Structure 1
């Protein structure tokens, strides 16, 4: 790998944590420069603007989340275990700070709602990918006769994401992982009672 490419990737990695923690507005170029240990010109040698760097940093943080998902799903034997593995990823993010700043989709969605349309669009695209992955898990669960045939995969995805991301938001707000743990417990109960084909009432 060329030195220039290595420097660019270093800038993206270091700025990703800063953007994900402080947000687009809160993360100043001077802080990024200090954290990266480079001169101001070093940023503009690789990125035309702060906007371009912010998008690259978001993509990096989201790729980290996808990597966590892939690793967590490796040993999952069925659809229920896959959904629970994703829940555990979010618990790890909160309790072990496995991704600096927490969930980049949630953070970016909150900050970019009105002021940063380019980031909002990127967060929307990332969420669509997440929804597609969850939908695939649920559809496979139906096809394998693990989940009830009558359930609506899209509606299930929306509910699960709302509960999990809500738990992340509350845990970040109060610096207490009990919220994400409570929400993931509710997800487990929901899967058992509403999705599983052979659940006994």
Structure 2
């Protein structure tokens, strides 16, 4: 990685928690300057606009989140084990966030909904990615004799994803994970009903 690429990466990594915590509209170039200790020319010499930084930051946060969740499930050898590893991970939310500031899909998605079509598209793609990962875990379990063949993995994936995202929102607002634990128990029950 050359000096320019290292500087770009440095800016992205410093800006990521700021955008995730303060939002796109709430984050100023001054915030990024303060976090990076760079001059304005150092920022604009690497990025054409704040919008470009936002898109790069979202891609960076997305990859960090994907990697973190892959690591959470990596040691489990069964689908049921992978689900349980995820549930144990979410039971400890928000202490185990990849990037400070909460769930990037919620943070960026709500803000981009009506104001930033490019960012909205990226958030939509990330939602589809995570739902497809859940569906694949169910499918793998069906193929390996863990789950009933008639379990609709796509519907479960939508349910699981939206229930977890809702629980993350409530956990952040309420400053406790009581609702998250109820959601996780409901998901465990559904998995148990479809287990062989």
Residue 177 of structure 1: CA displacement?
2.3
Q: What is the alpha-carbon distance in structure 2 between the residues aligned to residue 8 and residue 140 of structure 1?
A: 39
Please list every run of at least 4 consecutive aligned residues from structure 1 whose deviation after the TM superposition is greater than 4 angstroms.
none
Match of residue 65 from structure 1: 65
CA contact (8 A) 2:142 2:149 kept: yes
Q: What is the alpha-carbon distance in structure 1 between the residues aligned to residue 29 and residue 87 of structure 2?
A: 34
Match of residue 29 from structure 2: 29
Any unmatched runs of 5+ in structure 2?
none
Written as runs of structure 1 = structure 2, the 5 A alignment for 1:155-170 is: 155-170=155-170
Q: What is the alpha-carbon distance in structure 2 between the residues aligned to residue 92 and residue 13 of structure 1?
A: 24
- Post-superposition Cα deviations, 1:20-75, rounded to whole Å, max 9, x if no partner, equal 11111111111111111111111111111111110110111111111111211121
CA contact (8 A) 1:24 1:54 kept: yes
Q: What is the alpha-carbon distance in structure 2 between the residues aligned to residue 134 and residue 184 of structure 1?
A: 14
Using the size of structure 1 for normalisation, the TM-score is: 0.91
Any unmatched runs of 5+ in structure 1?
none
- Post-superposition Cα deviations, 1:135-172, rounded to whole Å, max 9, x if no partner, equal 11111111112111111111010000111111100011
Residue 103 of structure 1: CA displacement?
1.6
Written as runs of structure 1 = structure 2, the 5 A alignment for 1:93-104 is: 93-104=93-104
Using the size of structure 2 for normalisation, the TM-score is: 0.93
> How many equivalent pairs are there?
196
Match of residue 141 from structure 1: 141
Q: What is the alpha-carbon distance in structure 1 between the residues aligned to residue 114 and residue 20 of structure 2?
A: 17
- Say if 1:87 and 1:27 are closer, same or farther in 2 by CA, change over 3 A: farther
Residue 97 of structure 1: CA displacement?
4.1
CA contact (8 A) 2:8 2:46 kept: yes
Match of residue 196 from structure 1: 195
Q: What is the alpha-carbon distance in structure 1 between the residues aligned to residue 189 and residue 149 of structure 2?
A: 18
* SS of 1:25 mapped into structure 2: coil
Match of residue 114 from structure 2: 114
CA contact (8 A) 1:92 1:98 kept: no
Q: What is the alpha-carbon distance in structure 2 between the residues aligned to residue 70 and residue 19 of structure 1?
A: 24
Residue 115 of structure 1: CA displacement?
1.2
Q: What is the alpha-carbon distance in structure 2 between the residues aligned to residue 98 and residue 175 of structure 1?
A: 18
Q: What is the alpha-carbon distance in structure 2 between the residues aligned to residue 155 and residue 42 of structure 1?
A: 47
- Computed over aligned residues only, the root mean square deviation of the Cα atoms, in angstroms, reads 1.5
Written as runs of structure 1 = structure 2, the 5 A alignment for 1:16-55 is: 16-55=16-55
